[in-house]
Amino acid sequence: MSAARREPGVPAPAIFVIESKSAHETKAWGRRLASLLEGGELLGLIGELGAGKTCFIKGMARGLALREEDILSPSFTLIQEHHGRLPLFHIDLYRLDAASLEDLGLREYLFSAGIAAVEWFERLREAEDLDFLAVRISYAGANARRIEFRATDERHATLIARLRSHFE
């Protein structure tokens, strides 16, 4: 039997996987993604402790005309706001076992005209119902990480397509 063919006009699956061999490389992917953002995107960062979620967002700083040093691990402040080329809301839900959109005014940050980058996104109860770009980082060796980008809607799928066409 031949493999199933996609119908013409049906977009390719919105998933893109890369392997990063260093923190530097992970930051480079953050910078590349950020260079394509237009405002209104929601990035859900998923991955174990120390996987590289903050590292990726530090890389995003460069693509948003922000300073990397200003991106901190927001363990005490759950929300950090930065104003570069676009507003960046850096949110870390680690300290909340389960968060809801109604907590901490999250709704306002997640659905803004800026960019929301949320570490431990899976702790958000409504996560699966939202339109977002999942950035899932997993260990693949001491300094190696697998980074999977997955879109749940057309808008973020277009972003993945642009990331691939510019940088793959």
Ligand X SMILES: Nc1ncnc2c1ncn2[C@@H]1O[C@H](COP(=O)(O)OP(=O)(O)OP(=O)(O)O)[C@@H](O)[C@H]1O
Positions touching ligand X (CB under 6 A) are 20, 22-23, 25-26, 47, 49-55, 73, 94, 119, 143-145
Which stretches of the chain are assigned E, i.e. beta strand? 15-20, 42-46, 79-83, 87-92, 115-119, 133-139, 145-151
Minimum distance between the CB of residue 81 and ligand X, rounded to whole angstroms? 18
For residue 60, the Cα-to-chain-centroid distance in whole angstroms is 9
Looking at beta carbons only, is 41 or 119 nearer to ligand X?
A: 119
Minimum distance from residue 21 beta carbon to Mg ion (Å)? 20
Q: How far is the CB of 139 from ligand X (least distance, A)?
A: 9
Pairing verdict, β 15-20 and 145-151: antiparallel
Q: Which tokens belong to 39?
A: 């405002």
Given ligand X, Mg ion, none, residue 20, with its beta carbon under 5 to 8 Å by kind, binds: ligand X
Residues near Mg ion (CB under 5 A)? 53-54, 73, 119
Which residue's CB is nearer to ligand X, number 26 or number 157?
Answer: 26
